[in-house]
């Protein structure tokens, strides 16, 4: 009797990809990061609270622009720090 490779080689089980298993968690974390960024950016941009960055981040800022706050820099650093908490 002749056997074929199909009869002798076991077929490995199919494993679901990591992305497919975790896509809801990934979407939730991206949404959380967006909310954290917005929650720290807009209050500073509208003047509810203000943090002055180091002078090197305000080199191109003129007094006519108003106070240099760099709300984008603060919000990015805060949101990135929150995302590193799990480490």
The answer to whether 46 and 33 are in contact (CB under 8 A) is no
What is the spatial distance between Cα 13 and Cα 10, in angstroms, rounded to a whole number?
9
Task: Please answer whether residues 68 and 61 qualify as being in contact, where contact means their C-beta atoms are separated by less than 8 angstroms.
Answer: yes
CA nearest to 44, candidates 80, 79, 68: 68
pLDDT at 68: 81
In this prediction, the residues of the chain whose per-residue pLDDT falls under 50 are none
Q: What is the pLDDT of residue 7?
A: 62
Integer distance in angstroms from the first to the last C-alpha of the chain?
59
Model pLDDT, residue 79 = 92
- Which residues are CB-contacts of 32 (< 8 A; sequence separation ≥ 6)? 82
């Amino acid at each position: 009797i002749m056997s074929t490779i199909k009869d002798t080689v076991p077929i490995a089980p199919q494993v679901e990809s990591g992305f497919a298993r975790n896509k809801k968690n990934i979407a939730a974390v991206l949404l959380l990061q967006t909310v954290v960024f917005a929650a720290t950016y807009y209050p500073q941009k509208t003047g509810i609270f203000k943090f002055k960055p180091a002078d090197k981040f305000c080199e191109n800022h003129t007094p006519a622009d108003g106070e240099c706050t760099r709300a984008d820099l603060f919000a990015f650093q805060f949101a990135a720090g929150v995302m590193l908490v799990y480490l």
